[in-house]
Structure 1
Amino acid sequence: MSSTVPGPLRFGLLGAARIGPDALLTPAKSHSEVVVDAVACRDPARGIKYARTHGIRRHYTGPGCYQQLLDDSEIDVVYVALPNALHFEWTMRALEAGKHVLVEKPIADAAHEARQIFALAEKKGLVVLEAIHFTQYTASARFHPATQRVKAIIDSGELGNVKSIVAEFAVPSILSSLFFLKDDIRFRYDLGGGCTMDMGVYPLAAIRYLTGSESTAPKVRTATALGQPATTRIDRGMHAAFEFPSSVTGETYADFAMPGWGPFGLIPRMPKLSVKVALEGGDIEYYNYPLAGSYHWIKVKPRKGRARTEKAYKHPDGTGDASWTTYRYQLEAFVDKVRGRTPQYWTDPQTTVLQMECVEGMYAAAGMPPRIRSTYTTPVI
């Protein structure tokens, strides 16, 4: 799957998305092997403004713009930042056009769609990565040294075996109202919306990674959707409990808009951004895992011995920089993979497929309908 493209990899963005600057445009500025060369946006005015604002050399706009970008022979990699319901179709189309793909989470709206994506990528000899990096709002801190440090402490056996793990990613309603408009795609069922499809994937990925359970899907014991799921088919938030094959128990909580407390719920709650791991010989709390690149701490509290606090902004071998966000570490890994080098961390296809199976299981356990399926007809593989 290595790329023989001389010079930097040229990225094209599908969608003039708000996540683009954090997830790709800013990280690309510090990567000598990456150039963001084009953007496609169906709204001409928005696409032109986006390109000018971010210094993107070329733009495609109008109804056929996405396919025009895929047909561009100068583009090596496509970053899919479209609404969830379009991820499957345009990831498949990008692969069919011979492009490597970095696709925003979730990779698709169903596990069977994810399987088709990876099957086509393997057939074409291309790299696909779901951008779930636990970041500065979105995606998978797995790529960040702090998350890998927590995993190393657990794996060292210093505190014995894991008994339970709880991960949360929730923001108060007063804060979410500043970021999410009422017509935001996250609240539209027809576009694959819902908290579990967005913020909910991060705590789920965290408990799977830190317990070493990415190769198997935990059993969803219970799930409770928050908000008005019966009428909107959208979960504002989700509580879920899991059981892993090793008998380890796990819990996740994600919420777009936590209600306040006190009189009339007017007092906002603090954001919930921690992973807490209970082990036989002590506990670990990892604070701010979704924003580890900005600030975090890791508290290790043995039953016997002194507690300590750690931080990790670089890999043990010195790779990286304290200024790198999780998006930047993700980009480093993705480019390494495309170039045929060994990344510091990588997510295999089965891990991503099982993540989608867990998401489907959470919705089913909560009594909610599955997310809308793509109508795109894929080639026979």
Structure 2
Amino acid sequence: MIRVRIGTLGAARITPSALIKPAKLVPGVEVAAVAARDRSRAEAFAAKHAIPVVHESYEALIADPSIDAVYNPLPNARHAEWTLRALEAGKHVLCEKPLASNESEARSVAEAADKHGLVVMEAFHYRYHPLADRMVSIVGELGEIKQIETWLCFPLPRFSDIRYSLPLSGGALMDAGCYAVHLARLLGGGEPTVRAARALLRSPGVDRAMSASLEFPSGATGRVNASLWSSQLLKISARVVGSRGQMRVFNFIAPQAFHRLSYTVDGVTKRERVAGEATYTYQLRAFVSAVETGEGNLTPPSDSIANMAVIDEIYRKAGLAPRGTI
């Protein structure tokens, strides 16, 4: 029995991993429609992935009365716009991160979701894997937290990619760094103040790498590191130091593929592997639960507002304008 019918905006490269494959594993879900700017591309995508309906436009898809929810993997600058349109049409939304170009846009989405009583989930898929909760649990064993550092760095030398486009709200901090900021906030247990930031630019206003120093309400210091192109080619990690020990994690983004988790408490070191399904499967299952029961949304717009507030301030501290404000 199909309980949640989802329409996808566009035929983005991430959609098969983030939506199509998980929908085959989560009972009651159907990817029922697709729309793209190029109809032929939408038709090819629909044929490849057995999607029954191709709409002429994004507007037609969100107006389809048979669709319960919308998946929004459009470029960053279109996230808030089309999420708001979907909410106005009465649809729940699973939106790729970052939810918006800046804090103000995130607030607009939160207000609309509250107004219409609909679910908006920002697709920080790692948060739904058991590894995320295990990291939080271990941090609780480390005593007084002194330092938190997160990295999400990977090479993207294809400089024509939209992730380097200022009009489309690109930049390393927006793409990779939003994860690093999100995880630092999760492990820090509070909302940090940005003390300093430094950007390496690909083009005027567009960061190819970003690092920032944070301070948490507890007094712990933090650092986030993001890169699409820098000397740090690949690092997807976290490190937390406390008065009783420390924790290190490698590959918190896709732990189902491979990850390392080690921690030392009171001089005793342990290593663990946290078993589980793909992060995207957990995320889609949680989205369906939130739609049906109102429970399970760990990344609602209120969390998005806090994350974007930190991102905006990092840009300011680095001497750059927050995205969508130029």
TM-score by length of 1: 0.82
What's the counterpart of residue 19 of structure 1?
A: 14
Cα deviation, 1:172-228, whole Å, max 9, x if unaligned, reads x4xx34xxx332111111111111111101111111001211xx3x11111111134
Question: What's the RMSD between the two structures over aligned residues?
Answer: 1.6
Per the TM alignment, residue 258 of structure 1 is displaced from its structure 2 partner at its CA by: 2.5
What's the counterpart of residue 147 of structure 2?
A: 164
Is 1:361 aligned to 2:313, yes or no? yes
Spell out the pairing of 1:247-286 with structure 2 (5 A cutoff). 247-259=219-231, 271-286=234-249
Cα pair 2:152 2:176 within 8 Å, conserved: yes
SS class of match (2:228):
strand
Bigger-Rg structure (1/2): 1
What's the counterpart of residue 246 of structure 1?
A: 218
Q: Name the CA distance, whole Å, in 2 between partners of 1:22 and 1:50.
A: 13
Could you tell me which runs of 5 or more consecutive residues in structure 1 were left unpaired when the two chains were aligned.
1-5, 134-140, 260-268, 314-321, 375-381
Q: Name the CA distance, whole Å, in 2 between partners of 1:75 and 1:222.
A: 45
Is 1:186 aligned to 2:163, yes or no? yes
Identity of aligned residues (%): 40
Cα pair 1:70 1:97 within 8 Å, conserved: yes
TM-score by length of 2: 0.96
Per the TM alignment, residue 303 of structure 1 is displaced from its structure 2 partner at its CA by: 3.9
Q: Name the CA distance, whole Å, in 2 between partners of 1:98 and 1:16.
A: 22
SS class of match (2:206):
coil
Could you tell me which runs of 5 or more consecutive residues in structure 2 were left unpaired when the two chains were aligned.
none
Q: Name the CA distance, whole Å, in 2 between partners of 1:93 and 1:227.
A: 33
Per the TM alignment, residue 232 of structure 1 is displaced from its structure 2 partner at its CA by: 2.5
What's the counterpart of residue 325 of structure 1?
A: 278
Q: Name the CA distance, whole Å, in 1 between partners of 2:153 and 2:159.
A: 18
What's the counterpart of residue 220 of structure 1?
A: 194
Q: Name the CA distance, whole Å, in 2 between partners of 1:159 and 1:354.
A: 25
Q: Name the CA distance, whole Å, in 1 between partners of 2:84 and 2:273.
A: 39
Q: Name the CA distance, whole Å, in 2 between partners of 1:191 and 1:302.
A: 44
Q: Name the CA distance, whole Å, in 2 between partners of 1:36 and 1:275.
A: 34
What's the counterpart of residue 71 of structure 1?
A: 63
Is 1:102 aligned to 2:54, yes or no? no
Per the TM alignment, residue 7 of structure 1 is displaced from its structure 2 partner at its CA by: 3.3
Q: Name the CA distance, whole Å, in 2 between partners of 1:348 and 1:372.
A: 21
Q: Name the CA distance, whole Å, in 1 between partners of 2:13 and 2:204.
A: 24
Following TM superposition, the consecutive aligned residue runs of length 4 or more in structure 1 with deviations greater than 4 angstroms are none
Q: Name the CA distance, whole Å, in 1 between partners of 2:62 and 2:22.
A: 22
Cα pair 2:210 2:225 within 8 Å, conserved: yes
Spell out the pairing of 1:112-151 with structure 2 (5 A cutoff). 112-133=104-125, 141-151=126-136
Q: Name the CA distance, whole Å, in 1 between partners of 2:317 and 2:170.
A: 18
SS class of match (2:67):
coil
Q: Name the CA distance, whole Å, in 1 between partners of 2:17 and 2:153.
A: 20
